[in-house]
A and B are shown apart, each in its own frame.
Chain A
Amino acid sequence: MFIDSEYSSFLIINVTFFAVKLLQFGLVWLAPRTFDTSTHLFLEHYGITSNPWWGKLLSWDSIFFLKTSLWMRNSGYSAPQYEHEWAFSPIWSIIIQSSDLQHIVLKAVSFNLLLHYLSTWIVYALTKLTFPPFGQNVQTKLALTTSVLFILSSAAGFLISVYSEPIAFTFSLLGMLFRQWSISFDVYGNLHMDKLKWISYLLSSFCFAFAFLNRSNCLLLGLFYVHDCLNLFKQKKWITSIFYPILSGTILFGVFVYFHYYFPYAALCPERGEWCNSKIYGLPIPYQSLYSYIQSKHWNVGFLKYWTPNNIPNFLFGLPNIVITWNAITYFSYQYPSRNMKPYIWIARIFLFIMVFLANVQIINRVSSFLPLSLWYISDSLIKNPHEMRIVKYYVMWLLIWIPTQTALFACFLPPA
């Protein structure tokens, strides 16, 4: 397999990346028709009466980003037109703004390809930085395998469309890289901050905040700071904890409060009523974030709300990633415990809980791309633990079937969303 190949990482990653993308675009181009025929209505709304092949990239949530982008440009407003559209990153809609719909699609798809490519190398660097050098060869193999697995993402078709996942995972991984670069652990598991790398640590919070603005699940990355803070508290390093994790965490928390509470409140209230009425101590901050409110109201998100018989297929769609994430948590908790992995495990646990019990479970296939824990588990299993291979083998086989199938489903406007 590629992990034993003598080809350079550069060549393997590039060939894999471009081969996968070429295959995916080929599958979109070949797709015969869409089950949901509404894309032509959307295109006609913006003056495109022909039936371009790239219309097949505009399935599911893609149109919300495009619509908000055009709405903001044409109306001059800095907020989406309808309440439910706040769930789709307005920041990403601003980034992809262009003169017309066709140019927005071209820009967004190009950005997403570029971001996926860049983040593949960020994963490579992060893996090398995170795992101790048992030997240059093993470390390189681990980084290479992880990067290739990152290209073979279960997000598949969503990554060649207009979705905000690529920008979210790029900045998540970049933030992890900045943080990892500025910290170290001693043999007792004590965390040490390099004073010369304070800026790098702080930059991680800006990356996480930006990732969060594009995908709200990235708020979980704040657990890195909770972990670092607790570790420094144990060592009674109060000043360091203030200038490193507390300051960084505050930045992320501030962005969360501003963009999920204050900004929508200022845009929608008091005319909106309902959501606006439950204020905390009369402050312009409601009890529930707008994101939670609209997720619950428009997408049926809530504790066990998705556990209905008609959602069994959606649970089956998400099952491989649920199993692999669970296994990754167990593996790094008990079989390969490491101080470095602890915050990743915390994030993965809460993320898995949210996906299974609160969210629309099938989105785990695209949303889980922000955390490399399961990729590290697969890579490490492939390199070190042959007895672990059964699950890993089935997962990799599923991925190789899932990527073309999901791309084809997406191009035909079929579930999973």
Chain B
Amino acid sequence: MMATFLIRIISFFSLCHLALGNTETYQFHVPKDFPELSPSYVPKLPYINARNTTFRTITTHLQPEAKTFVELTGLKKNENYMVKICWTGIDPISLKSIRHQFIPHGTVFKGTLSTQTRAVILIETRADSYPILQDKVKVDVSLAVIKLGIPVDMYSILFYLACVLICAISFIRAIDPFQLLEVRKQNKSD
């Protein structure tokens, strides 16, 4: 019941894509046959390590007009993930695209070669105002497991919002403004 309610809330907010000016999200599924990385593997690109956690954020820099790659390690097989990119509105950029890519083992990717199968997120940005932004932009890249259709970092927020909503509705039921107005009408007729 509660899960359905929370899923409805998150679905509602996920529709507000345009309103989320400086945040972009992207969801992807890790296949059942995705091979695990060996514990000794050290990524050569900026990376988020999701091993032993369901949610992690890194802060990285990216060029305003470029493609940036972030490697994802510690991904679990047959799991859904949400990647979230947040940057501050004072840096006028927008995201042209986000997508994921699985790099087969033994493949050269961006000048790096690995014997492991890798997962990478591609973030493509463009400068968005005048004058054109030249400096590197600091961004937060988050990776969260999706459970019950909701990214896990949203659970505390949704729980809080549900509490606020329940309190507000209980308050309305307790004071019932309309009933009080009826009292006023009765007083008037007296």
Cβ 8 A contact of B168, one of A33, A405, A412: A405
Known: A82-B131, A400-B171, A404-B164. A63 touches B90 (CB 8 A): yes
Q: Which A residue's beta carbon lies closest to that of B86? A: A38
Q: Quick one: which of A287-330 are within 8 Å of B by CB?
A: 298, 300, 308-314
Residue A343 at the chain B interface, CB threshold 8 Å? no
Q: Quick one: which of B163-190 are within 8 Å of A by CB?
A: 164-165, 167-169, 171-172, 177-178, 180-181, 183-185, 187
- 0/1 per residue, B36-79, Cβ < 8 Å to A? 00000000000000000000010100000000000000000000
| B171 in contact with A389 (CB, 8 Å) | no
Residues of A within 8 Å of B, CB-based: how many?
A: 57
Q: Quick one: which of A53-98 are within 8 Å of B by CB?
A: 60-61, 63-64, 67, 82-85
Known: A41-B59, A405-B165, A417-B21. A382 touches B130 (CB 8 A): no
| A417 in contact with B177 (CB, 8 Å) | no
Contacts of A38 in B (CB 8 A): 22-23, 86-89, 140
Residue B122 at the chain A interface, CB threshold 8 Å? no
- Beyond A37-B84, A83-B130, 14 additional contacts (C-beta under 8 Å) are A1-B180, A1-B183, A30-B160, A36-B20, A37-B57, A63-B89, A67-B89, A84-B92, A272-B130, A308-B18, A312-B15, A313-B16, A415-B20, A416-B19
Q: Report which B residues bind A (CB closer than 8 A).
A: 12-13, 15-23, 57, 59, 84, 86-90, 92, 128-131, 133, 138-140, 142, 153-154, 156-157, 159-161, 164-165, 167-169, 171-172, 177-178, 180-181, 183-185, 187
In the assembled complex, 22 residue pairs joining A and B whose CB atoms fall closer than 8 Å, in A order, are A30-B160, A32-B159, A36-B23, A37-B142, A40-B140, A45-B88, A83-B129, A298-B129, A309-B15, A310-B17, A310-B18, A313-B12, A313-B16, A389-B178, A389-B181, A393-B181, A397-B172, A400-B168, A404-B167, A405-B164, A412-B157, A415-B19
Q: Report which A residues bind B (CB closer than 8 A).
A: 1, 3-4, 27, 30-33, 35-42, 44-45, 60-61, 63-64, 67, 82-85, 268, 272, 298, 300, 308-314, 360, 362, 382, 386, 389, 393, 396-397, 400-401, 404-405, 408-409, 412, 414-417
